[in-house]
Structure 1
Amino acid sequence: MNQLRRSISIYGLGLLALFSACSGSTKSSKYTKLTGEVFHTYFSIQYDLGTDYSKAIDSTFHSFSHSLNPFDSTSLIAAINRNESSETDSMLREVFLQSVEISRHTEGSYDVTCAPLINLWGFGFEKKGDSITLHIVDSVRQLVGYQKVQLDGAQMLKADPRMKIDFSSISKGYCADLVGRLLKEQGATNYLVELGGEIAFQGKNPQDECWIIGIDKPIDDPSGSVNDYELRIRLPRQAGGLATSGNYRNFKIIKGKKYAHTIDPKSGYPMQTDVLSATIIAPSCMLADGLATACMTRQSSQVPALIRHFPGVEYMLILGNPSGGYHTVMSPGFQRLVIK
């Protein structure tokens, strides 16, 4: 785990937080700002208290990693994947139950047990080679299915010991929520926590205005170094989360063919709907993170019905046009947040 490291370079996958008081100082108008790198991505945290809580935040990162980080060999989820233990904690159970709810409402197109397929295609925590055949895909596909994993008290039980679980599509948002909870416990009423593009927020910025973020255009750029805004929005003042998912930055070239990182659990192959990018605003960043990924597994015409299952959620989709180019669609509530 990386310790908190000071940095003035902040970027995210799919969106970029815009700070009007981003001069490199750590305190402004009684706000504290912490920036650095963790989980191989950048974070930026602002809150309306004068105390530096970097040690407490670092402890939160460690606790999260020990529970949910599949790349951490000492984590609970890694032990479950290796069949060395079935023990969970409250964090793992909370994320699992939220992921199951999303899976049910997507008819299984969103599925955190898809890890063996994700690994097979080279996007997961276990890297595989380029030798992918129909037979191999079909055999691995039998190890996928959210209904095959159950909680029995504090134990997570898998129907097949070869199953593996990866919460990466939802857990980064949850980690941002955990930091937000910590800050609220310390008395913060205004904060913005950005972790690799996932944002947990509440209240106002140091200028006594709503937090403002920019949402990127769908540009093929795996490095994430190119940022060109499609639009900017003012975030609501009530606590919530925002996340963006898109295939345009996470893809692989295998034998000359481009494959997106969204895998269809039913076919076992990468999928691409007409949705190039999905941005979700939800009551929690965990829910926003999971739903943004889930939208990438649906046709745009299916998204409104999906979102209706989750109160307080707004969305914006960037859709590809058959003739090239793209256009945006958004819910009425999201439209009201757009800065003209």
Structure 2
Amino acid sequence: MGVGRYVFFLLWCVFAVCGYVYGQGSHLLSGRAQGTTYQIKYYGEERVSKCQIDSVLKVLDRSMSLYDKGSIICKFNDPLVSEVLMDAHMTRVVKASQKAYKDTRGYFDITVYPLVKLWGFGAEGPRSLPRKDEVDSVRRIIGMEKLRVKGNRLIKRVNHVSIDLNGIAQGYSVDVLADYLKSKGVEDYLVELGGEIRSLGSKPEGPFLVELYRPEYIAQGRLLRVRMVNNAITSSGVYEQQRNVGGRIVSHHMNPLTGQPLESTIVSVTVIAKTAMEADALDNYFMSLTPEEAIQFANKRKDVEVYLVCSEGNTFKELQSSGFNNYIY
């Protein structure tokens, strides 16, 4: 049974046509970036243009996009390259990834990229089911201890190490856009990129709201409305990218400790945190845990809340951390 139609997705109903400005002091910017779409709504005087937002995103792509062959990350992933000079953006993201690696006991690991490619989720596209010896060979170059950061230099301790920052860089991009708006004097905004969201302030008529779809087995399709309070919300799920590899349905979420796609009863995760980068890293980690472990982790973490949809036999159930209910509208 396919789970995609039953699990949650983020709905953002406050947007309309790209670039349309409506209402007194209400501005909407929309476009494409990082292989997905973005939408920004802000209030007050017109202070930021679509051209400015696109310029900020282009700088981020030149730093960390695996699809921009001239990016810094693609240069680092070249087997003949042993080190690169990172820009300020990539330096921040790599250092945050090191912290996330420690916090998650090695489950959040940016060196997992060779596994992502091996299982057919890289830029090269689908491939056959990898053999055990192929997985074992790739595992020798997995692990963030195989990287060294010295100032703004990223150095390979082992040849052929390559990295994928997608599990955290998109959240970071949302934070960069949010900080850019704030630097321009915007005090009320909602930024969304690829379903990852960060807010500041509110709309004139009330708080910014995000709606979460709940499995019909649980709530007959009724939506869960979540209030944004100067924070971020991100999501992850097995339905995002999954593929039939050699007759086996696998997810793009990889377990760096085993070399295999993650297997969990968790179908989708929604994380609330202060920054989108933190929420982005954690939503991937929670996918590697049991539901009970994910809830316990969030309950111990300051300013972090989580909402889970889990499979249970032929149906679904939902769980949430102790403070998540405070955000339900």
User: TM-score of the superposition, structure 2-length normalised?
Assistant: 0.90
Deviates more, 1:290-299 or 1:42-51: 42-51
Q: Distance in 1 between matches of 2:168 and 2:123?
A: 15
| CA apart distance, 1:42 | 1.6
* Among 130, 155, 158, the residue aligned to 2:156: 158
| CA apart distance, 1:312 | 1.0
Q: Distance in 2 between matches of 1:126 and 1:22?
A: 34
- One-letter code of the match for 1:331? S
SS in structure 2 at match of 1:213: strand
- The answer as to whether partners of 1:106 and 1:306 remain within 8 angstroms in 2 is no
- One-letter code of the match for 1:276? V
Q: What corresponds to 1:247 in structure 2? A: 238
Q: Distance in 2 between matches of 1:335 and 1:97?
A: 32
Q: What corresponds to 1:214 in structure 2? A: 211
SS in structure 1 at match of 2:84: coil
User: TM-score of the superposition, structure 1-length normalised?
Assistant: 0.87
Mapped pair 1:92 → 2:90: yes
Mapped pair 1:56 → 2:49: no
| CA apart distance, 1:48 | 1.6
Q: Distance in 1 between matches of 2:76 and 2:130?
A: 26
The 1:40/1:218 distance shift into structure 2, 3 A limit, reads: farther
| CA apart distance, 1:332 | 2.5
Alignment of 1:1-340 (within 5 A): 14-19=9-14, 22=16, 25-51=20-46, 52-82=48-78, 83-84=80-81, 85-127=83-125, 129-207=127-205, 209-217=206-214, 230-236=223-229, 238=230, 240-307=231-298, 310-321=301-312, 323-339=313-329
Structure 1 unaligned blocks of 5 or more:
1-12, 220-227
| CA apart distance, 1:131 | 4.6
The 1:218/1:160 distance shift into structure 2, 3 A limit, reads: farther
What RMSD over aligned residues (CA atoms) do the two structures have, in Å? 2.0
- One-letter code of the match for 1:234? R
- The answer as to whether partners of 1:218 and 1:248 remain within 8 angstroms in 2 is no
Q: Distance in 1 between matches of 2:189 and 2:32?
A: 18
Percentage of matched positions with identical amino acids:
27
- The answer as to whether partners of 2:110 and 2:164 remain within 8 angstroms in 1 is yes
Structure 2 unaligned blocks of 5 or more:
1-7
Q: Distance in 2 between matches of 1:67 and 1:159?
A: 21
1:36-90 Cα deviation digits (max 9, x unpaired): 2222212110112332421211111011001111111111111111154411111
1:115-159 Cα deviation digits (max 9, x unpaired): 000111111234362151000000011110012112111101111
The 1:65/1:231 distance shift into structure 2, 3 A limit, reads: same
How many residues in Structure 1 have an aligned counterpart in Structure 2?
314
The 1:308/1:160 distance shift into structure 2, 3 A limit, reads: farther
SS in structure 2 at match of 1:161: coil
Q: Distance in 1 between matches of 2:106 and 2:39?
A: 33
Q: What corresponds to 2:4 in structure 1? A: none
SS in structure 1 at match of 2:167: helix
- One-letter code of the match for 1:333? G
The 1:254/1:217 distance shift into structure 2, 3 A limit, reads: farther
Q: What corresponds to 1:10 in structure 2? A: none
SS in structure 2 at match of 1:316: strand
1:18-39 Cα deviation digits (max 9, x unpaired): 21x6477323220211112222
- One-letter code of the match for 1:54? K
SS in structure 2 at match of 1:332: coil
